[in-house]
Amino acid sequence: MTHSLHRSGSLESLKNDFVWFMYQASGINDKNIKDKALQFIAIAEKVNSENWGDIKTGSKLNHDIEEITNKITDNSRFRGVFTKREQVVEFLKELKKRNLGLSVIISGLLDEVLIACKEANVIPHTINYSLGVWGKKEILPEEDVLAITTMCGHHMVASNIVKEKMEEVKSGRKSPEDAAYELAILCPCGIFNQVRAAEILKDKQINNKDKLK
């Protein structure tokens, strides 16, 4: 599953986009994980993870945290987003201190995440590198749409609904934040970065205002 790996967008925008994962390995350390998962979530909340969830229940954007945590089972996998490298550093430092024993993964720009690892004094073990999109690329939607749809790597956020929200923002019928939220709740696992999406939508609004001048 590589749904966080292949995000599109400008380097400047991607600098504000990190995905975290908590993963237990089947048959190795996957029993009685609830207490560890709760600690994991508490750390993510402490460093203000903007969105997170369990794909079986949904994300914290449209579910109570209590509802998500009440439904934790040994099959639950948590994941979420950060928008600043400093959050990643604090998150990793705290997880290292707690030594929960579950695998921790951070997805993002290598230059950013590797520095965060150094600052948190953790040593990367394995990396899944993105080598981009191959094949019939001419059938892909335009880049600014992809920058948003790829924030839900499972592609539960359709390009047409992104275009619709872009139009609503451009015309002033909806704020970038509200439009980003409406897109984010379509992603059931909580890795959609609604803060970054709002920034991208805001750029569309600004560009449109410039055109109208």
Partner 1 sequence: MVVVNKELCTGCWTCIPYCPVSALKKNEDETITYVDQDICTKCNVCIRNQVCPLEAIEEQPYDNFKNEFQHLMSDPTVSTKGTGVPGRGTEEAKTNDVTGRFGKNEFGICIDMGRPGIGCKLREAEKVAMAVVRAGVKLEGPEATPIAKIMTDLKTGKLRDDLLETYVLSIIVEGKCNIKRLPDVIKALKEVEKQIETVFSLGIVARVDENGDTPMFDMLKELNIPRPFRGKINVGLGRPLVED
Kindly state whether residue 132 participates in binding partner 1, applying the rule CB under 8 A: yes
Kindly state whether residue 39 participates in binding partner 1, applying the rule CB under 8 A: no
CA distances (Å), origin 46, targets 1, 82, 90, 94, 196: 27, 12, 9, 10, 20
18, containing H or E segment: strand 18-23
Residue from 48, 65, 124, 209 binding partner 1 (CB under 8 A): 124
The tokens describing 142, both together, are: 């335009």
| Selected range binding partner 1 among 41-49, 130-138, 168-176, 194-202, rule: CB under 8 A | 130-138
Residue from 39, 159, 175, 208 binding partner 1 (CB under 8 A): 159
Name residues whose C-beta falls within 8 Å of residue 83's C-beta, 6 or more positions apart in sequence.
16, 17, 18, 50, 193, 195, 196
Size of site (CB under 8 A) for partner 1: 78
Residue from 122, 175, 203, 208 binding partner 1 (CB under 8 A): 122
The CB-of-102 to partner 1 minimum distance in angstroms stands at 6
| Selected range binding partner 1 among 41-49, 157-165, 169-177, 194-202, rule: CB under 8 A | 157-165
Please report, as residue ranges, which positions from 168 to 197 form the binding site for partner 1 (by CB under 8 A). Answer: 185-186, 188-189
Kindly state whether residue 61 participates in binding partner 1, applying the rule CB under 8 A: no
Kindly state whether residue 77 participates in binding partner 1, applying the rule CB under 8 A: yes
CA distances (Å), origin 93, targets 98, 119, 136: 9, 9, 42
Q: Given the complex with partner 1, which of 110 and 209 has the nearer CB atom?
A: 110
Kindly state whether residue 42 participates in binding partner 1, applying the rule CB under 8 A: no
Cα separation of 101 and 103, whole Å?
7
b/e sequence 144-156, b meaning 16+ C-beta within 10 Å:
bbbbbbbbbbeee
Residue from 33, 37, 43, 55 binding partner 1 (CB under 8 A): 55
**Residue pair 24/174 in contact by the 8 Å Cβ criterion:** no
Q: Given the complex with partner 1, which of 49 and 150 has the nearer CB atom?
A: 150
CA distances (Å), origin 108, targets 115, 125, 138, 150: 11, 16, 25, 13
